Chains A and B, each alone.
Chain A
Amino acid sequence: MLSEKEQPILCIRDLNIWYGDEQILRSLSFEVQQKQVTAFIGPANCGKSTLVRCINRLNDFIPNFKSTGEILFKGVHLDASTDTTALRKQIGMVFRRPILFRCSIYENVAYGARISGVNQSEHLDTIVEKNLRKTGLWGEVENILDETPEQLSRGQQQLLCIARALAVDPEVLIFDEPCGELDPIETVKIETLVRDLTNDCTLIFATNKRRQAARVSDVAGFLYGGELIEFGATEKIFTNPQDNRTEQYVTGRLG
Chain B
Amino acid sequence: MNSMTTRAERKQKIVLQSITFVILGVAFILMWNVLIKTRVVSMQAVSAAPLPNAMPTNLFSDLYLVLLMSFLAILFGIACAFYLQEWLPETNWVRRLIEGLVAILTGIPSLLFGILAIGIFFSYAGTLKMIGGSPVPQNAEAIPVQHDTTLFYAEALTFILMVMPVTIKTTQGALHSIATPIREAAYVLGASKWQVLKRQVMPLAFTRILAGGCRAMSRAFAAAALLIGIYTWHYTTESGKMPGRFMLFLSGALFLSVLSSTLIETHRSSGRNTVNLPR
Contact B275 A88 (CB under 8 A): no
Contact A102 B203 (CB under 8 A): yes
Contact B195 A115 (CB under 8 A): yes
* A56 touching B276 in the complex, CB below 8 Å, given contacts A63-B91, A99-B182, A101-B200: no
Contact B191 A115 (CB under 8 A): yes
Q: B90 an interface residue at 8 Å Cβ cutoff?
A: yes
Interface size on B, residues (CB 8 A): 27
Contact B278 A56 (CB under 8 A): no
Please report which residues of chain A, range 141-180, place their CB below 8 angstroms from some CB of chain B when the two chains form the complex.
148, 150, 157, 161, 164-165, 168
Contact B184 A157 (CB under 8 A): no
In the complex, what residues of A have CB within 8 A of residue B186's CB?
A: 101, 111
A-B contact count (CB 8 A): 75
Segment from A89-97, A126-134, A188-196, A216-224 that makes contact with B: A89-97
- Can you name the residue of chain A whose Cβ is closest to the Cβ of B274? A102
Q: B140 an interface residue at 8 Å Cβ cutoff?
A: no
Q: B204 an interface residue at 8 Å Cβ cutoff?
A: yes
Contact A93 B188 (CB under 8 A): yes
Interface size on A, residues (CB 8 A): 30
In the complex, what residues of A have CB within 8 A of residue B192's CB?
A: 85, 115
Q: B181 an interface residue at 8 Å Cβ cutoff?
A: yes
Bitwise interface map of A from 110 to 137 toward B, beta carbon under 8 Å scored 1, else 0: 0110011000000000000000000000
Q: B255 an interface residue at 8 Å Cβ cutoff?
A: no
Contact B275 A164 (CB under 8 A): no
Q: A185 an interface residue at 8 Å Cβ cutoff?
A: no
Please report which residues of chain B, range 90-133, place their CB below 8 angstroms from some CB of chain A when the two chains form the complex.
90-91
Contact B189 A164 (CB under 8 A): yes
A228 nearest CB across to chain B (Å): 23
Q: Whole-angstrom distance between the alpha carbons of A199 and B11 in the complex?
A: 59
B45 nearest CB across to chain A (Å): 57
Residues of A within 8 A of B (CB): 21, 56, 58, 61, 63, 84-86, 88-89, 92-93, 95, 97-102, 111-112, 115-116, 148, 150, 157, 161, 164-165, 168
22 pairs of residues in contact across A and B, judged by CB atoms under 8 Å: A21-B1, A56-B188, A61-B187, A63-B91, A84-B187, A85-B192, A86-B190, A88-B190, A89-B189, A97-B276, A97-B278, A99-B185, A99-B276, A101-B199, A102-B204, A115-B191, A115-B195, A115-B199, A150-B274, A161-B185, A165-B188, A165-B189
